Structure 1
């Protein structure tokens, strides 16, 4: 079946099959690749958006919680046991009231004393048996003395809102200062986050309960199949094949909450569907255009071929009058022109053959008469040629032996010339390489010198940098001392303002701000001091490394200078050897050319002698045979006349 198919695979079918492969396969491959690239890009974009949304929520939580931790720390330092006594609570209450008024995101701010007293803003009526020392926030803060604790989110009994408590023990251990933070602002931001069209964000606390979710109530237990995977790592991505969901999550460093963004894989398919449709339309349009072009090209090739086939069939039947129309100047047109020219030449040839057949018939009769006379002359020539052949054969053997000797000598000279040229080329190449090596060594010396000079400069700059960092450290110590003294003065001013009561309120605010600035200055000075210590350590290491680099660069310069001297000596030696080899090569070339000329001359002599010997032998044999064949010529002339008549009959079948 395969053999029959190959026999019936016409040019038209071959062209259709080839064009189909060229059109369909690249179009489909390009379309699929474009679709996959677009889908991957869209999937990456949605995934990155989910990651950015989670990171944004994490930053919002940090921006909300972190300032409150600093404020709690401040209150724990400022509030001491003397201010918690019954008659001295007014300044503390006033300070808490002002703070609460400036922070609407707070539900309340309060202090629980070790005596069981509760100082709270806004003021709320407590039950008679209420004791802050029995509350979880108080007990957790006492258990983690000196640390700021953040409770698990819970629903406030008084407001019904989800809150967390931030608390810390007072520095003198006289109680615990705390504040309840409303999470409504965080919840609003989380609920506004949209990942794609249907994706959303949510927050789960460290105990495995929903803190914020668009559809699930706060405090509901987090019960998902991928719960263990979510809490196994601080951050990552989870792909759920059964629900076609993709989750990116991050753990908040301050609270330990899990912030997650969920997106649906189906949205990616919906987003890339228009791309698939446009790609399909482009492929179909390209196939249609290619099909039209393919039909035009195939017809332009096959139609002229069909006309040629029709004309060739008529010519095979003997009709040479068929004309072929020639259209176009392409390969098919050139083939048609050649076929037409072949037909014209064939018609001319048949006419000439007919004319020649008539002449052959007439000449056959004359040949018969001349054959008898030729036989007599041939007998005399045969005797003379036999004598000449014997002498020529002896001469040929002598020349042949001489030629073999000269050829062996010429072959040896040619091999010598070939080896000499190879040696010359290798010597020249070695000279060039030696020159290049010398230049490279000189360049390396210059570069090593430049590196050595630069390293010395850098070492000097680094030493200067270390000296400046020491001076900056001294200045930072002065700033830290000033900040410490300012902090003490501000604390004393705050105490005096508290004693002054209503008249010292404004001064107390100013003193507080001065104290905050002093604390910030102290903190900044400590950070700068740490940086300076780190810089000084790294500077000393850099100076040591620069000294080692300088020594190694100087050693490298000495080694390269030694190598440069060796390369110069090698270069001079190679140049001398190259000049001597070139002289030898020139002499061998002259010898080789002379031997070639001699071989050529001997070969010509041999050929002439061989030809002469062969010719004389052939002539001798021919003359002997000619006597026998002359009789056959007479008979052949008669046959030739008969064949000429038969040829005239065959030519009559052609129509010209």
Structure 2
């Protein structure tokens, strides 16, 4: 497992994935919501537009169906149509001129048919109005009407009079017994119907198609298919579209033609059984989704780049002082105490640690410098002491030789006194050594007292640092608590948005009701009101999602506050433990001071005993002088010279050991660079 040692890397590794994941989640949710909303609204709008066009055609056909019905009841006589067309031709010509003037190029002609199928048309040829005759007894719509059927709107047919495609509106001419005696009707140019269907062209790839009840194309961008081919005879996917169009219900159909994904919005025309559809490329229809996705991606990329830059700069700024501190600490650990001073103006925890490091380095350098100087002095003194001890030892040996020669004659006489003198001298020497050791113990006790006092100061510094940490944790808890308060404010704002969307939804519903009351004129407004209502519902749902997110944030914030409070209590407990340790150190200092006082008192007592032992030596020497001055003096000198010789040897050995210790200490101090 990879171990990350850099504080900056750890910090960025903890923050960056969370930020990136959060941004990607928000972007994905936003894109999916917007994508679904746009697709739904576009599809609904296209289907509505197709339905409006179908309704327009249906209303248009219904309206023009009234014209032959009016003619059949008011202008044409059921008794004369089967005898003579003269009167009927005059009436039809007048009617055609009226219609041609009102709707130029709209009607091909007006015609009447007797029960034998003979017809006369009133039409325009060039600039002249003419009557054209013929027979249409084989037409299916004629047979249906003569069999008792009602007014017929035919599928597109080729006119027997003009040879052009047309839609025929035909109504029965009935006698007083309601029996059909003939037919009167109008021939409407197919171009007029095609123009209405062609208005369904959306975008650059879209186009409108219209099919008759049998599937024959009435309108198609490929004119070779109009009136010549049925939609059900095309490819499989287009044929399925035709079957859906003739199903009698509006709908949306997605299909593929030549590897291109397309979408069709179809709607029936009830009055004729026809159907109309608007079809276009899905890529073009949903192009706004791609634009929104691109814009959203760019925005998320910019935000992510800015956040990553800020995080990097923040992590770098926080870790830079620590890197410098680590570098200087490694130099100090290597013994370099020269110029290891870190400049800092920060007052936070890192700044305080840096200041403490500077103080510690300075104190350590002063201590090493003092030890080095003291060691040099000790080395010099030990060398001088060794030289003096050697000289004294040589002189003492010479004196001892002379005294031994003089005292040879009186050695037996003074054995007892000599033994007593030696015993007292050894006792005095032992007492002196005990006194020296007592002084050494007293010095060690003082050093222990100073060390304990330094430990007390360190404990006090630790208490102050823990107090600072406790304050920082408390401040963090307040910040997290404030975050919880802000999330509650956001929740209030979300509730306000929810109320507004609810009111908007209600207003949209009222607008839709008013539009329904307005009838055909309010249909467009009803579509807009419905769209507004849907958008309000979407906004209300989004507000609900935001509210859920805010609740999660509040829950996480409460947990963070509890964690901060627990951390504060743990820090307080740590402060109490360190405080107790400080008190223990103070008690140790008191005890060490008391022991030091007692040792000093014992040392004074031992010094006094040493003085008394010296007095005993003097008394013994006086006894020797009394017993025999010459022998006593000789023996005393001999003993003194022997003792001095032994002392000089001990001093020489001790000075050599001291010189060795001073050299070792100088070698240790030389590792530091000050």
The structure that has the greater radius of gyration is 2
More helix by share: 1
TM-score, scaled to structure 1: 0.48
Relative to the length of structure 2, the TM-score reads 0.47
